[in-house]
Structure 1
Amino acid sequence: MTISVIGAGFGRTGTMSLKLALEQLGFGPCYHMEEVFKNSPHLPVWHEAVDGSLPDWEVFLGDYGSVVDWPSTHFWQELYDAFPGSKVILPLRSAESWWESYSATIMKFLRIVLSDPSNPAFSQSELCRKMIGEQCFGSHYEDRDAAIAAYEQRAKDVRAHVSPDRLLEYKLGSGWELICDFLDVPIPASPFPRSNQRDEFFANFDPKAGAT
């Protein structure tokens, strides 16, 4: 198996729904952050990647047909170059609505977990702190201005690097048609998946991590 679809958007741009959609369309299994929580041997590989030692992507992601969400989206350009036949989907929403969703979910999760080194999700959160805050935002994971600037820059970088015929900019809520046309597959009869809404976010993780 090889990666044929790369999600280049930040978490909280509908990445879980996109994962489910890609799997339904036959481009799965799709790698998403939940894979890191389910597969403990993956975690040190991502830590090493963030520190500059990249894996052999074809070997590491050999069981997957697509990728979305962090941590893979942090390496979207490396993955695009590693899989020359792949297509890229850039899920989009307004920067302000993205920040509101991110700050109420991922940011809150990190704040809770990073305050307690005994938390089972501490190592995953430390990965995200470094990857999202330091490297992606170039600041702190709670820095609103830096986060929004990085979010807007991501779209510019993707447009600059990806061949237009291999790129789909996908606005949240657009349904099946654009994606199916882009990937040249039939439109399913079922509704487009909707998952991991803001009020569902903490239910996907350890209760201790989601405690308020």
Structure 2
Amino acid sequence: MPIKVQLAVDMTCQSCVDDINGVLGTVPGVDKIDISLDDKQVMVEGTATPSSILKAIKDTGRSAVVRGTGSSSGGNIGAAVCIFEEGSAMGNHATRGLARFVQIDETTCFVDISVSGISDGAHGIAIHECGDMSQVPESCGGRWNPDSVELDRLVVKDGWGDLAFETDRFKVWEIIGRSMVINAGNEGGVLAGVVARSAGLFENDKQICACSGNTLWTEQRLVDQGHRL
């Protein structure tokens, strides 16, 4: 099914627009590209996945954030955000990153995760039953994922890691109020946060992130460079 993908992208001049047009034109499934330099917004229509579109733009060296997706006929299905804080295994509960969830269609959810300042290596990711952050990971309950296994592995190198993927293992409306927990071997839940509803496609034109006060792309760049939010 054709979809629209809305992204906030750090663009400063027409050269940025030309570069993004060029790289997106090589992504299979991209049918239409609409770029607004003034609004720093990119709209893509077609059958390409949000993760492939996001990767293509990031490969140009520019920071980008998927703000929402929806069907080409209009309408937002669902979106959510999770702000990660350090769990009890790490100590001081500093903010370390975030995850964004956007429902692409009735069965597929796009997930975009960025973290910084945690140990290098492969970290497991899972949705847990509860949104209680009082004693991570025990207070988060058991894994809620329908098959009770990790969603994926987030690889952290030099204190920073990101991951973008599509999944049909849950829908946005099923995880609101639950938690996402990032683990590392025997460390337990090193990062965790509550999944909360957020604005979807065309529902919020703000360029400032409420959790950090930075523009969306500055926030992403800070994470990309290994800094805390």
Higher relative contact order (CA 8 A, sep 6+): 1
Which TM-score applies when normalising by structure 2? 0.25
Q: Greater strand percent: which structure?
A: 2
Which TM-score applies when normalising by structure 1? 0.26
Query: Which is higher, the Rg of structure 1 or of structure 2?
Result: 2
